[in-house]
A and B are shown apart, each in its own frame.
Chain A
């Protein structure tokens, strides 16, 4: 009986675990395998073992280091943008008098559009209609207030900003949804009694609301961080990694090395590096944010 009680939960997990091993474990194994080989897309079946040579070449290349810096900037920029705006909008939407109204529900549905739009379409539309220098939406709006907008996507100084803005805009609804749900769980009585006790808006946020949604904050940040770290579609559609590699994040580098140049060994070395980095970030974030205790 005790043996059955021990093994029974595992039998429930087994199908999903097997599926996970096949769909995740095997590709990860192949990626690690190829990263230690000289192998091209055309000759995937003929890898030649070269040890750490791919990694040595990568880390000795200043363009790879540059790509890491771009990825960090892009990831942090997207996360900060989405979390700040998501929280801001969610707090407005959850205010008494607005929460639950028809307008609020309409706005919520409307605001989900960026999140459900195909990523590559977001990128292409951004390139053609939003950031385009002569007739794009952004420069049109700037023009209305007398500012001459730059060529956002061809300028080394502005392309990354445009890319972060676009991806942040796309990820904001995710943050909004979770923050809105979290804020809705705070009892009105708690807020009202604090207000009766004379709590300022600042105190209300930092003494009551933030502590009550801190796990959600950590969870949303982690989800957006990991998503932005591996983002490809939006950037590819928007800038293709340019101009001048200024938006060449690691995932774009993987594409260029592996698909455009067919060098699967180097591409997988970058992928494995990405896997290691994101694993470390996730573990640190979960430990530091005590996200593992969310369910307690």
Chain B
């Protein structure tokens, strides 16, 4: 042991004892024996730290050959089957390790935006509205599809490719993602209640026409009001234990409100903005739409719908507390459960008479999503996994998730035979998709349409601003973003 160190230590301990007046300070004198023991302890500690490190280093070398694919996912019906069935099977087949993290819905794009530059994810959930936030870091799937001799144009409906798999503005000429569950909302209703003689005669008496599935938004309002009843009343001959509501969507602000209200905006034939970045949201028609929407929520939605996030209202429908419901197709298994099971009818969204595009049915945007591959060293493995999952096992994937994207998934006998309701549900699903609005492929779509439109509807509903003032705010925000990005002068 270094004599200088010992002397120095002794001096300092003595000094400490003296300055603090500690009469027992002398007891603290370090002896050579104490110091030796201390040295042994330090050596032992270093040994215990270093040795496992050495072995771990060896292990690390071996681990470098181990491919690990990191997936950032959106919650949904696919998560369970992927975790429990597909991923374990693929890991066993290939020896590749797959780590999947399910991110909160409102954080998915933010995480990708933050992590993608550092290669944090190999595969990510794809929503066309979010693509602009991290498009630079996404791999072009075309060469990988060529490797597998897979031509997407032979397998996916064209609107799906245009909306979910390409982005001609940001990544021209490339395939940027696999569509997995492209969809546009339809309407579900309680067929048994609509067909019940008591309900039909009561409706005929009250409104002077037959009770039919609503074909226009005004009819929807009327029927929804008709079915909105208090506990103790009856529906289809049965006494209600809880309040019944006519129609609902999940309209928490601003995301839920945006998702649901955009169905009214697009049904009116408004686009938000055109190819020259000229907006049509300054039209008086929008005020008509928001007035209707406010009335519909106030008179027919359960109050809790204002706090519900995506698809939460479908549980309410399944429990027999809603007569009609907005239905994003991926929630069909929920809709067809509990007291609603086997009693669900499906319809396209109602038309907005006099809409600016002469649409024969109502429509919303083409939503749902897909999966993309990030530009990482693992991209080949990542693509291979997705190809295996979504193309080679397409039918099995749909049987387990009720998600549809490829044409063979819609037409497979195995799929069609797997659920009784598919015969009614799938034609409506496809018909609605045919008219779905493909979102404009600019990076700022969420900034100018999704969030502000949801906030607009919420502000009007809650009376935060007059409809005119809220509309002006919506338009001003859009123009300000377009100017900032140089789209307009």
Residues of A within 8 A of B (CB): 38, 40-42, 63, 66, 127, 132-134, 151, 153-154, 156, 239-246, 256, 259-263
Contacts and interface: CB of A to CB of B under 8 A. Distances in A.
Interface stretch (B67-75, B150-158, B423-431, B460-468): B460-468
Interface of B: 110, 113, 132-133, 252-254, 303-304, 306-307, 443-444, 446-447, 451-452, 458-459, 461-465, 484
B464 A240 contact: no
A41 B113 contact: yes
Contacts of B444: 262
13 contacts: A38-B484, A40-B447, A42-B443, A133-B304, A151-B304, A156-B462, A240-B253, A242-B253, A244-B253, A244-B464, A245-B462, A259-B110, A261-B447
Given A127-B307, A151-B304, A259-B110, A40 B463 contact: no
Contact of A244 (B443, B461, B484): B461
A38 B484 CA distance: 8
A261 B448 CA distance: 8
Contacts of B458: 242-244
Contacts of A156: 462-463
A40 B484 contact: yes
B113 A260 contact: no
Contacts of B254: 260
A154 B303 CA distance: 7
Contact of B133 (A42, A132, A239, A243): A42
3 smallest beta-carbon distances between A and B, as pairs: A244-B462, A154-B306, A151-B303
Contacts of A66: 464
A38 B480 CA distance: 11
Contacts of A127: 307
Given A38-B484, A41-B113, 20 more contacts: A42-B132, A42-B133, A63-B464, A127-B307, A132-B304, A153-B307, A154-B306, A156-B463, A239-B307, A242-B253, A242-B306, A242-B458, A242-B462, A243-B458, A244-B461, A245-B459, A245-B464, A246-B462, A261-B446, A262-B447
A244 B303 contact: no
Contacts of B304: 132-134, 151, 154
A88 B451 CA distance: 44
Nearest to A246: B462
Contacts of B307: 127, 153-154, 239
Contacts of A242: 252-253, 306, 458, 462
Given A38-B484, A40-B484, A134-B304, A244 B252 contact: no
A127 B304 CA distance: 11
B482 to A, nearest CB: 13
B451 A260 contact: yes
Given A42-B133, A63-B464, A240 B451 contact: no
A23 B174 CA distance: 42
B449 to A, nearest CB: 11
A260 B446 CA distance: 8
B195 to A, nearest CB: 29
Contacts of B252: 240, 242
A33 B223 CA distance: 55
A244 B253 CA distance: 8
Contacts of A260: 254, 451
Nearest to B306: A154
A137 to B, nearest CB: 16
Given A151-B303, A154-B306, A243-B306, A261 B464 contact: no
B489 to A, nearest CB: 15
A256 B451 CA distance: 9
B330 to A, nearest CB: 23
B253 A243 contact: yes
A262 B254 CA distance: 15
Given A240-B253, A243-B462, A244-B464, A133 B110 contact: no
A240 B286 CA distance: 26
Nearest to A132: B304
A256 B450 CA distance: 13
